[in-house]
Structure formats: C-alpha cells, structure tokens
C-alpha cells in the first residue's frame, strides 16, 4: 500500500513545528503505518491540489490575507497550540480561512492523539440525548469514561445533553457539574405571564452567562456542536459556531415551558422536537466510532383516570396517590414523541448504545439525582471495562454493542 503524505507548515514565530511533527507521527504510527508528514515548504506545487495542516500558537493574531496565500488551492486545517489549560479565546478570527480546527495543549498527549485520530478517520464521537432530570445520567457515564480512559474526540448534544456536553468539552469534572445542577435546578424555574412560555428565561440566561462568559463553541477543547429545532424553516439547526450560552439555551428551550430563541429572525426551540437523540447528526460529522448515551423517555406515560379529569379533581387526587401528567410532562412528551419512535434507527447507527436501567428507580430516587448519577456510572463502568478494545484502530469495524 502506498504511503499518504500530510503537508504541514507553521504560521507565526517560535512554532515548534519539528517537535509537533515528531509527536504527531508517533501517534499516527499507532493507527496506521501508511501516513507520513511533510514539512518541506518547497513542495508547494506538488501538494497544491491536496490539503495542508497549519500549526500556530493560539494566542497570536492572524493576518487572513497572509494565511490565504499559504497553499491557496488547498483545503486548510488549523491546529492551535496552547501552553496551559486556560480555555482558548477568539478562535473565530482564524476560521474564515480554515475548514476545520483543533486545539492542542502542548503538555497533553491526548490532544495529539485526538488530532491523529481525526486525520485518519478514527475519531470517537459521543451523542448525548435530551432527558430532563434523567440527563444527570450523562454525568455518570462521562465519569466512567474518564476512569476507564476512554477518549472522546467529538460531542453532539441535544437539550440537557447540549448543556452537559458543552461542559465536558470545557473540561469541567462530572462531580462539579452534579453539585452545581443540584443547587440550581429549582432556582432556575421562575414562572412568568404565560404568553409565550410558562417559565421566564431571565434566571436561566443569567446562569448560562455566568457559566460560559464570552466563550464560543469554537473555543472548546473537544470539538462540539448542539442541535436545536428551527420552527421557522421546520428543519434541524446545528450550532457549530457562535456564543455557547445562546446555543445551549436554544437547544434546551422546550416549547411552552421556556421562551424560544430568535436567531436571524428565525425561531429556535429545543432540539428534541426534531432529534432528541442526535445520532444522525453525529453520523454526518464522525467517520469513526459512534457512542450514543440515550437517557430519554424512561417514565411510563399513562394515568390513573378513566377520562380526563378537571383541575380540581387532579388536586384532590394527589392525596390518594392518583397521578395525571402535568402540563410540563405533556409538553415535554409531545416535543419528543417523534424521536422516541426513531430509537431503533439510533441503535443501528451506534457502535455503542448506552441506556442505563433507570426505569428501576423510584420517583423519590430520581428526584435525589444521586441515584440517577450512580446507576448510570456503574452501568457504563462495567460496560467499558469489558470493552477495552474500543480505542483500537479497528474499533469502528467491531461488533455493535447495544444494551
């Protein structure tokens, strides 16, 4: 088999291109012996019809016209180097010239490995579903991934999965997220005049802005997108760039419960309306292994009445432990019913389909959140420990695991 060459060049001063090449080639060799890196700038004409990887320090300011002149006919991929764990800023100023970009911390071997997997089509993608309170299970699954050193190269999230996924991409620990979610869950629910929604988004907006500050999607360590539903065009909307807090807000804006988000005069609501498990979106973006964490629709959706009761009967029946879905339950179920019907398609797409046995928990255990977290954690830990080959170069060809 003939070798393939990756053309690579540096941009700016003091870029350790040779050292970067050596470290990246070491990771590439673990995946395939047939790819080599060329850093000889004299071969511009030879590689003018292919692609080039441009390596630069993340804290410098680019000159776009100069960047466009480097291999002008090539598709360009950007690698931004960073000296510490401080989250990147202003990545967006580079992007008009580049099709793809990756952030690499010089002291993190796993960031070099991630780039190698992307360049060879062996990336590992994670899809995080919506699920309301059950979404806390994503935290337990992520904790299991960290403990078993399962690398994730790309995250796609919907609704609560969009929020948790963005925090994973930022590098926030699952324990910290769980504690924060437990403190904020009730605080964020603020009733308002119900003209467009039952709840106001004022406190929710404040929480998201404090969490993300001015962070943009393109600034995250792990490549990330989230999905919302465009009611104006009746299509899926994929948030690839822009302010992170606005994207997460749109992806989790359940119609009727939370106000929609207006984007370029278009109305965006919860992504679960069109794709509560973002398997198809991940499949479009990821060439390698697909892992799906599905925490949607666990609760049985029936009632203890022979016919629709009046509001007064519902209030009286609570003392007799009779149940009828609340307005929030009805709206949430209506929004995600289409995605529930497509679960079988998600299973077919996934190499690993994760669905913790949360239906065994009592309502009281679910409200505590700790049980949801622990059940998901132990379920995922057991599965990952039995599937150590998931990170191998042949992982995308392995037998599917759907449990």
Cα(290)–Cα(352) distance, rounded to whole angstroms? 7
pLDDT band of 2, cuts 50, 70, 90: low
pLDDT at 57 (0 to 100): 97
pLDDT band of 40, cuts 50, 70, 90: low
pLDDT band of 402, cuts 50, 70, 90: very low
pLDDT per residue over 266-281, tens digit each?
999 999 999 999 999 9
Residue 282's closest CA among 292, 294, 297?
292
pLDDT band of 334, cuts 50, 70, 90: confident
pLDDT at 279 (0 to 100): 95
Range in 76-85, 218-227, 364-373 with the lowest mean pLDDT: 364-373
pLDDT per residue over 135-192, tens digit each?
999 999 999 999 999 999 999 999 999 999 999 999 999 988 988 887 776 666 788 8
Residue 102's closest CA among 145, 134, 55, 141?
55
pLDDT at 394 (0 to 100): 45
pLDDT band of 397, cuts 50, 70, 90: very low
Cα(122)–Cα(115) distance, rounded to whole angstroms? 10
pLDDT band of 38, cuts 50, 70, 90: confident
Q: Which residue has the higher pLDDT, 377 or 300?
A: 377
pLDDT at 237 (0 to 100): 98
| Mean pLDDT calculated for residue range 102-129 | 97
Q: Are 273 and 213 in contact (CB under 8 A)?
A: no
Q: Are 345 and 331 in contact (CB under 8 A)?
A: no
14-24 b/e (C-beta count within 10 Å ≥ 16 → b): ebeeeebbebb
Neighbours of 334 (CB within 10 A): 13
H runs (alpha helix) in 84-173: 109-120, 137-147, 160-170
pLDDT band of 310, cuts 50, 70, 90: confident
Q: Which residue has the higher pLDDT, 162 or 363?
A: 162
pLDDT at 190 (0 to 100): 84
| Mean pLDDT calculated for residue range 194-216 | 91
pLDDT band of 311, cuts 50, 70, 90: confident
| Mean pLDDT calculated for residue range 244-251 | 98
pLDDT at 403 > cutoff 50? no
Average pLDDT, the chain: 86
Kindly state the percentage of the chain with pLDDT values over 90. Answer: 59
CA atoms lying within 13 Å on the CB side of residue 177? 24
Q: Which residue has the higher pLDDT, 60 or 298?
A: 60
Neighbours of 366 (CB within 10 A): 18
For CA atoms 375, 285, 115, 56, give the dihedral sign.
negative
Highest mean pLDDT: which range of 70-74, 88-92, 305-309, 327-331:
88-92
């Amino acid at each position: 088999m003939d070798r393939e060459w990756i053309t690579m060049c540096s941009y700016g001063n003091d870029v350790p291109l040779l050292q970067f090449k050596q470290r990246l080639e070491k990771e590439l060799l673990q995946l395939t012996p047939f790819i080599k890196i060329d850093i000889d700038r004299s071969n511009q004409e030879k590689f003018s019809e292919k692609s080039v990887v441009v390596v630069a320090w993340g804290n410098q300011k680019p000159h776009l016209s100069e960047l466009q002149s480097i291999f002008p006919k090539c598709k360009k991929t950007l690698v931004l180097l960073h000296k510490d764990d401080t989250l990147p800023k202003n990545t967006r100023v580079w992007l008009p010239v580049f099709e793809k970009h990756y952030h690499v911390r010089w002291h993190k071997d796993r960031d070099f490995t991630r780039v190698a997997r992307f360049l060879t089509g062996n990336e590992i993608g994670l899809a995080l579903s919506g699920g309301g309170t059950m979404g806390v299970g994503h935290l337990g699954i992520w904790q299991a991934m960290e403990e078993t050193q399962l690398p994730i190269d790309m995250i796609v999230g919907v609704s609560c999965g969009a929020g948790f996924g963005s925090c994973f991409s930022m590098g926030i620990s699952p324990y910290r997220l769980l504690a924060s979610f437990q403190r904020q869950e009730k605080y964020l629910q603020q009733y308002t005049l119900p003209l467009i929604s039952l709840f106001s988004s004022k406190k929710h907006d404040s929480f998201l802005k404090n969490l993300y500050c001015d962070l943009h999607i393109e600034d995250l360590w792990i490549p990330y997108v989230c999905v919302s539903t465009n009611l104006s065009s009746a299509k899926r909307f994929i948030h690839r760039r822009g302010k992170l807090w606005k994207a997460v807000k749109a992806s989790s804006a359940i119609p009727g419960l939370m106000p929609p988000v207006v984007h370029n005069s278009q109305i965006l609501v919860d992504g679960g309306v069109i794709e509560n498990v973002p398997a198809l979106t991940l499949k479009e973006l990821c060439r390698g292994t697909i892992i799906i964490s599905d925490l949607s629709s666990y609760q049985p959706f029936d009632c203890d009445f022979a016919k629709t009761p009046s509001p007064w009967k519902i209030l009286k029946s609570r003392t007799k432990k009779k149940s009828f879905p609340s307005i929030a339950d009805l709206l949430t179920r209506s929004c995600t019913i289409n995605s529930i019907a497509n679960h079988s398609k998600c299973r077919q797409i996934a190499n690993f389909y994760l669905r913790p046995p949360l239906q065994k928990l009592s309502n009281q255990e679910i409200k505590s959140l700790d049980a949801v977290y622990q059940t998901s954690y132990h379920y995922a830990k057991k599965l990952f420990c039995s599937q150590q080959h998931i990170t191998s170069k042949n992982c995308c060809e392995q037998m599917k695991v759907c449990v």
